[in-house]
Amino acid sequence: MREIILDTETTGISPDDGDRIVEIGCLEVDHQVPTGRTFQCYLNPERPMSQGAANITGLTDAFLRDKPKFAEKVDDFLAFIADSKLVMHNAPFDMGFLNHELAMLGRLALDNDRVIDTLEIARTKFAGAKNDLNSLCRRFGVDNSGREKHGALLDSELLAEVYLELKGGRQPGLIFKQDQLDSNDLETTHTSIAARPRRPASLSSRLTQAEESAHKDFIKNLSAPSKWLAAD
């Protein structure tokens, strides 16, 4: 099943106050395995960044000034997500902004029925614990050392790993090599030969001495030398 891990960065905390999306990051997974396909874009919000958002994301008005507007990227975005399930952390925040942007363009809203909220899953599994993305990364041993600032695509990549853990972890025996394999390639791991128990000793021969002698005489009479006899 195809799913899209999705995150947004914004100018502030509420579209009702005029805040806009400044970055969208999406990562495709198929049957809980990342395929390597992503969608990412920075957007000109047509308004200043709040100081709080600038501090969190590191994005500035000067950086965003020449970026495309949401209207210029909306078709690419909708084509990438298609009709797949959308996995988000604190989904009401991202969905509120996305549907506000779509409404401004007269587009249909994204249906909440297609959304999987990892924050809700985490709150069910770990009631009373911290369930922000950084806390979940620490809980599951996901390396988030590169997350000095929030970034939509980076956060989607981290969330993909957290989501797999929340779903029960990767299927044993499957390893994804994103930088080596095509999107549908899977490598099955096998138990190493060294890990298998060995016989304590060779099995004793069941041939009688007379049968073994007759067998060697037969081999000697063959026209070509025998590799088995040569090995004796």
Tell me the average confidence (pLDDT) per consecutive run of 10 residues in the chain, 232 residues long: 98 97 98 95 98 96 98 98 98 98 98 98 97 96 90 96 89 39 35 34 49 55 44 42
| pLDDT for 228 | 37
Q: Is residue 203 part of a domain?
A: no
| pLDDT for 213 | 62
Q: Is residue 136 part of a domain?
A: yes
Q: Is residue 76 part of a domain?
A: yes
Q: Is 9 annotated as a binding residue?
A: yes
Helix (H, G, I), strand (E, B) or coil at 54: helix
| pLDDT for 195 | 34
| Residues acting as catalytic residues | 150
| pLDDT for 209 | 61
158 CB-near residues (< 8 Å, 6+ apart): 133, 137, 142, 144, 147
Model-level pTM greater than 0.85?
no
Which residue type, as a one-letter code, is found at position 52? G
Q: For the purposes of burial, counting CB atoms within 10 Å of the CB of 47, is it exposed (0-12), middle (13-18) or buried (19 or more)?
A: middle
| pLDDT for 115 | 98
Rounded to 10°, the helix 133-140/152-166 angle is 50
Q: Is 155 annotated as a binding residue?
A: yes
Domain that holds residue 25: 2-188
| pLDDT for 48 | 98
Is 74:41 a contact under the CB 8 Å cutoff?
no
Q: Is residue 196 part of a domain?
A: no
Domain count across the chain:
1
Q: Is residue 159 part of a domain?
A: yes
Q: Is residue 41 part of a domain?
A: yes
What CATH code is carried by the domain that includes residue 51?
A: 3.30.420.10
Q: Is 46 annotated as a binding residue?
A: no
Q: Is residue 222 part of a domain?
A: no
Q: Is residue 104 part of a domain?
A: yes
| pLDDT for 216 | 55
| pLDDT for 149 | 87
Is 220:232 a contact under the CB 8 Å cutoff?
no
